[in-house]
Every structure is written in C-alpha cells, then in structure tokens.
Amino acid sequence: MELLTGKVALVTGSARGIGKTIAEVLADLGCAIVVSDIDKEGAEATAASLKTDAIAVQADVSNADDVAALVDKATERFEKIDILVNNAGITRDNLLMRMKEEDWDLVLKINLKGAFLCTKQVLRGMMRQRSGKIINIASVVGVMGNAGQANYAASKAGLIGFTKSVAREAASRNIQVNAVAPGYIETEMTSHLPNEVKENFLADIPSGRAGSGEDVAKVVAFLASSYADYITGQTIHVDGGMLIA
Ligand SMILES: NC(=O)c1ccc[n+]([C@@H]2O[C@H](COP(=O)([O-])OP(=O)(O)OC[C@H]3O[C@@H](n4cnc5c(N)ncnc54)[C@H](O)[C@@H]3O)[C@@H](O)[C@H]2O)c1
C-alpha cells in the first residue's frame, strides 16, 4: 500500500510548475487529486495526466464564490478532503518606490487572501472528520525579504503567520498546518528573471544548484503523510541552504 492510499488532496495552482509536480508526487503515493487552477485547460491537462483518480476544477483562489464551488465539487466527487495544499501564487515585482497599488493589492489578494479563503472552506470538513493536513507554500523571501518583492515577501511572511495561527486553532482536532518555504526553484515563475538575478541567486545557494518542483513536492508529501502527525505550525525551508538561520 502506498503512503497516501485512500487520501484526497486539493492542490491549488496545479496546472503547472510546483503545484503540478505536487499533484504528481501525491498521486504517485496513492492520493486522489483535485487539480485546481485559474487556468482551466492547464488544470484539465494535469488531471488527465495523473496516474490516479483526479478531477480538474477551475477556480480563482481569491474569489470566495469560486472557492466555495471548488470545495463543493471536490466533496461531491470524493466525499472528503484530507489534504489542502495552498500553492497558487503570483509575483508582480518592482522596487517599492515604483510599485503600483494595484500590484500590491493583487499579490496580497491571491497569495494571502486566497489561502485564507481555501483554508476556511476546507477546515469545516476537516474539523468534522477530526483529521487533516494543510500545507501552505510560502517562500524563503517571506523570511529574508528581497529587494523588488515587498508585496510578494509581505504576502509570504503573512502566510507564515497565518500558518502558525491556524495550527494553534486546529491542533486539538488532529489537523496539522505547516508551511514549506522554497528558495529558487526553476519554473515558469522564475524563467523570466534576468540572467544576472538568476546568477546572483545561484551564488547564494550552498548546494550549488537551483531547486526543482520535485524537491518541494517531496517535502509536501512528507508533511501530508502520517510521518508528520506530530509536526504543526512549522515552516520547512527547501532552499539548498540559501537561508541557514
Ligand atoms: N518558483 C520559485 O522559485 C518559488 C520560490 C518560492 C515560492 N514559490 C511559490 O510556489 C508556488 C508555485 O510557484 P510556481 O513557481 O510553480 O509558479 P507558476 O507561475 O509556474 O505557477 C503558479 C500557478 O498558479 C496559478 N494561479 C495564479 N493565480 C491564480 C489564482 N488567482 N487562482 C488559482 N490559481 C492561480 C497559475 O495559473 C499557475 O498554474 C507559488 O505560491 C510561489 O509563490 C515559488
């Protein structure tokens, strides 16, 4: 029997990138998957490619009606949600002096409010079943800060505070809430960075390489499994040593 056989996971932003790899790794461990993304075709393609029971549901995580419909569809199909991975996220980088208010608002709305809406919607069922795992994809930048990413860093630092608070609220119901803080991972999100920025990132990574989606997904799988039943409120850094506190 696989580690996650019989479990159901909802992964937001899983049409591509880290979210897609998380869906693949959880599926390989026997989990049924709800693939959700604002990108409908991408979500459908991911769901079709998984070697497990999977459905695709289009939803904007920052829209409360979309999130309510997403959780309804997921529970109609699978009856429960055991694992929620709040992965959907965006960047709108600029130096603070040039940062537009709308770019501040949008990043906070998707990265932080999105996790609030999805967690709130899923938590009721987890409370009732007295078990659940919630994993929030933060960022090393939420702990270190990064020039040009004040909005993104604030959203990810907020997500870490959110993780700690919900962990305290839900622990007595056997629900564990943790965050994973990736460093520099090669995906669509980072592919547009100027070469100089990429080289600077690499120079700061003791492991000497960028991370992969799989590096992140394997830690998510661990946190989603019974191996992590006594871990809650933590942020696990997956960054090749970029931040060693
Ligand atoms: N790539 C990195 O180096 C890195 C580092 C640290 C943290 N992260 C975090 O990991 C997560 C995934 O990043 P990625 O690199 O795979 O990014 P990505 O841009 O490749 O994928 C993000 C996915 O989220 C979806 N999405 C965007 N807005 C959405 C919304 N409103 N509702 C639902 N889905 C939405 C996109 O359509 C896309 O499929 C993000 O939260 C990101 O902040 C990434």
**Domains of the chain by residue range:** 8-238
Q: In the predicted model, what is the mean pLDDT of residues 215-242?
A: 98
In tens, the pLDDT along 4-21 reads 999 999 999 999 999 999
CATH fold of 8-238 reads: Rossmann fold (3.40.50)
In tens, the pLDDT along 215-224 reads 999 999 999 9
Distance (Å) from CA 172 to ligand 1 centroid: 31
Distance (Å) from CA 17 to ligand 1 centroid: 7
Which atom of ligand 1 is found nearest the CA of 111?
41
Q: In the predicted model, what is the mean pLDDT of residues 39-66?
A: 98
Q: How confident is the model at residue 82 (pLDDT cuts 50, 70, 90)?
A: very high
**Smallest CA separation from ligand 1 atom 2, residue:** 185
Number of DSSP helices (H) and strands (E) in the chain, helices first? 10, 7
pLDDT at 1: 78
Whole-number Å distance between alpha carbons of 13 and 59:
9
Q: Which residues contact 87 (CB under 8 A, 6 or more apart)?
A: 11, 12, 13, 14, 18, 19, 22, 137
Whole-number Å distance between alpha carbons of 36 and 85:
10
Q: How confident is the model at residue 192 (pLDDT cuts 50, 70, 90)?
A: confident
Q: In the predicted model, what is the mean pLDDT of residues 201-229?
A: 97
* % of the chain with per-residue pLDDT over 70: 100
Distance (Å) from CA 76 to ligand 1 centroid: 26
| Ligand 1-lining residues (CB < 6 angstroms) | 12-13, 15-19, 37-39, 42, 60-62, 87-90, 110, 137, 139, 182, 184-185, 187-190
Q: How confident is the model at residue 232 (pLDDT cuts 50, 70, 90)?
A: very high
Say what the pTM is. 0.98
Q: Is the pLDDT of residue 74 over 90?
A: yes
Quick one: DSSP state of residue 228?
A: G
Q: In the predicted model, what is the mean pLDDT of residues 60-83?
A: 98
Q: Is the pLDDT of residue 186 over 90?
A: yes
In tens, the pLDDT along 121-177 reads 999 999 999 999 999 999 999 999 999 999 999 999 999 999 999 999 999 999 999
Any idea which residues carry the catalytic annotation?
Answer: 152
| Helix orientation angle between 213-224 and 17-28, rounded to the nearest 10 degrees | 50
Residue type, 219: V
Q: Average pLDDT, whole number, for the chain? A: 97
pLDDT at 239: 98
Q: Which residues contact 194 (CB under 8 A, 6 or more apart)?
A: none
Test site for ligand 1: of 189, 193, 204, 236, most ligand atoms within 8 A of the Cβ: 189
Helix intervals (H) in 36-194: 40-49, 64-78, 101-108, 114-129, 141-144, 150-170, 188-191
Q: Is the pLDDT of residue 197 over 90?
A: no
